[in-house]
Structure 1
Amino acid sequence: MGLCAVGSELLAAYAENTGKIGAVLFALVFFGALYGAPALLAREVTRRAGWGWPSLLLLAFALGIAQACLIDQSLFSEDYVGYEGWAESRQAAFVPVLSISANQAFNFIVGHVIFSFGAPIAVAEAWRPQLALRPWLGPVGTGIAVALYLGAALLIAVEPESRSASTAQFTISAALAGACILAAWLMGRNLRPQAGPERSVASPSPLFAFAAAFLPGLILASDVLGENWTGFTFNVIATALVGMLVWRRSQRPGWDVRHTAAVALAFLVSRGVLAFTYFPLAGQVEPFAKYSHNVVMMLAVLVAGWFALHPSAPKQLAS
């Protein structure tokens, strides 16, 4: 849950809480509830049903749509909580018929899939590879996670800034989230992972997987071609290619949970590296506080990654 809070908000260091210890600790708890609790629940559903990563990522898409379109409704906002450059970003790839920015839709929803849910889950599963395909929560833990998520989501939803969606936009978004859940169920029925002893097959090390994924992650995180239609098209194609390559490689013998964690870690680290290059989009933060925040968040990710990729624990085939 804590890693979800770091990956979703604190690592990017774009908000006015950057470098403020009390505010960061509060954010760690709050965003742990808002993103970490549903990540745990999505993982729990996936592992209890015997589904694999495709279904888990589809559930993450449902959660990403819910967050950006139903809870904070930031995708439909013309000037969300006064973030600098918001209006310009919105207009760069604007879709009039939907009244949204295509690039913002991609960044918000896919960003949640990767940084808020998918990458933290992948890294955390590699801490105990032998438990990677097993449920983690009992009835009490599940109930607590549900209560935390609903409570945090409600606190966001009642804010005035979270009322930007029209009735049609809200309805369509809810339908899309439901479609992702249905697709996760259908795919889970047909792509059930097979857990078993690892086969002795030569495979690149997890560090190689990290190195191969780091540059694409950095390119995607930096919006290298801008937030216009050219940048949007490039990001969609690049993300699809990276996803396809990872999926194809993961289906070959020798790929285990640490390789999945290494790819996830590469995206988290790329987000942390990029955060050193800009100041928060809201509020005033002194350079020392800003860069101290960057260093601490990056160290948190690197420590989490070290435990995930440490070679001494038993391995478990990825799903």
Structure 2
Amino acid sequence: MRRIAPAILLFFLSPLVAEYLLGDFTLAFLYGLLLLAPMYGGGALLIREVVRRSGRGWPSIVLLALAYGVFEEGITTQSLFDPDYADAHLLDHGFIPALGIAVPWTLFVLTLHTVWSISVPIALTEELTANRRTSPWLRTPGLTVATVLFVIGSVATFATSYATDHFVAPWPALAVVVAVAVALVVVALRLPRVETVPTPTGDTTAAGAPIADRPAAPPARIMFVAALAAGFVFMSIRHLPTWIGPAVFAAGALATVLAVRAWSRRPGWNGWHRMALAGGALLTYAWNGFLEQPIMGDGPIITPVSHVVFGLAAVALLALELRAVRSLPRATRRTGQPAATAVNPAG
């Protein structure tokens, strides 16, 4: 159980963050976690294990997380194409008939899955696992079980969505979704493997890059504030005019990716920085949850109580993260590996 404990944690943490911390469900629907975990948790586990088994790093995780979002919203729920999905009128603004999608909703929901449904739970769980952060957690039987659960969860989600709306997108749209998801998977698994680079100090940097001549990574507290600010901007663009929102999103997303990529390649990048980014994103969902109206288990008492409970749970999780990172030896904190080696920060 100790060996697979991180996998079990990730299996349930992914749907807890994706749906409950977001504010979609309350404590009254907590039993639904068992229904949501196979797809969310199974998907997060598969992505994490495939990447770590292949020796790749975070760029591959993020691309596979995006592929997951495309698959869920384009195939299982088909919210990208369904004008009546959940009676939420998701396609009313920024709809492009030739594509059959609304640009604002597509960008918004795919980012939710890429960042919060998959990447944040993986990052938080890995930082709790000390020396096993970049090592596989499951053997072949466990990976098989995760795959089966993901398939079952995906089929169940599609069946539930179809039973609700009786909507199926046109086959050309579904074919494009499959092609995009497959392309993302192929690119993710063709990215370079993470290279180990022994260094006297344990500092992490890209292979072959001189350490002494590079500026140090910014303090983790700055990363935390930056993550909170980016989360606030992202959650706010929904309220901007139809085409201004996507433009702001594109500029912000590009700036965020480039900044994190540059900072993560600097000496001194370590577990504090990774936790600061994931923690800022987690707390973004925590405060945003108070502004959301649950779609299941709503009530005048249960709704605010649920927001408070899930928010406090997020803070408690970050406290555990702080304790775990603080307890690691300095070199291990930087790399997630024994002190003898350092790892490309893209991992």
Tell me the TM-score normalised to structure 2 length: 0.82
The residue aligned with 1:211 is 225
Q: For the Cα contact (< 8 Å) 2:26–2:303, is it kept in 1?
A: yes
Q: Does 1:32 align with 2:37?
A: yes
Q: 1:101 to 1:247 in 2, by over 3 A?
A: same
- Higher Cα Rg: structure 1 or 2? 2
The residue aligned with 1:119 is 120
Distance 2:228 2:195 in 1: 27
Distance 1:226 1:250 in 2: 31
Q: Does 1:68 align with 2:73?
A: yes
Q: 1:138 to 1:196 in 2, by over 3 A?
A: farther
Distance 1:178 1:168 in 2: 15
Q: For the Cα contact (< 8 Å) 1:4–1:31, is it kept in 2?
A: no
Distance 2:149 2:181 in 1: 20
Structure 1 segments of 4 or more deviating over 6 A?
none
Distance apart, 1:218 and its partner CA: 1.6
The residue aligned with 1:4 is 14
Q: Within 5 A, what are the aligned runs for 1:154-233?
A: 154-159=155-160, 160=162, 161=165, 163-187=167-191, 190=192, 192-194=194-196, 198-199=202-203, 203-223=217-237, 225-226=239-240, 228-233=242-247
Q: For the Cα contact (< 8 Å) 1:44–1:135, is it kept in 2?
A: yes
Distance apart, 1:28 and its partner CA: 2.1
Q: Which runs of 5+ in 1 are unaligned?
A: none
Q: For the Cα contact (< 8 Å) 1:52–1:193, is it kept in 2?
A: no
Specify which of 237, 256, 268 is matched with residue 242 of structure 1: 256
The residue aligned with 1:270 is 284
Distance 1:240 1:78 in 2: 29
Distance 1:109 1:294 in 2: 23
The residue aligned with 1:18 is 26
Distance 1:141 1:305 in 2: 27
Specify which of 37, 40, 57 is matched with residue 62 of structure 2: 57
Distance apart, 1:225 and its partner CA: 4.3
Distance 2:82 2:291 in 1: 26
Q: How many residues align?
A: 307
Q: For the Cα contact (< 8 Å) 1:119–1:261, is it kept in 2?
A: no
Q: Does 1:312 align with 2:334?
A: no
Post-superposition Cα deviations, 1:164-204, rounded to whole Å, max 9, x if no partner, equal 311001100000000001111222xx352436573299654
Give the RMSD, CA atoms, in angstroms. Answer: 2.1
Specify which of 263, 266, 269 is matched with residue 252 of structure 1: 266
The residue aligned with 1:91 is 92
Q: Secondary structure at the match of 1:305?
A: helix
Q: 1:277 to 1:208 in 2, by over 3 A?
A: same
After alignment, is 137-146 or 114-123 more displaced?
137-146
Q: Secondary structure at the match of 2:301?
A: helix
Q: For the Cα contact (< 8 Å) 1:262–1:309, is it kept in 2?
A: no
Q: 1:110 to 1:206 in 2, by over 3 A?
A: same
Distance apart, 1:292 and its partner CA: 1.1
Q: Which runs of 5+ in 2 are unaligned?
A: 1-10, 205-210, 336-344
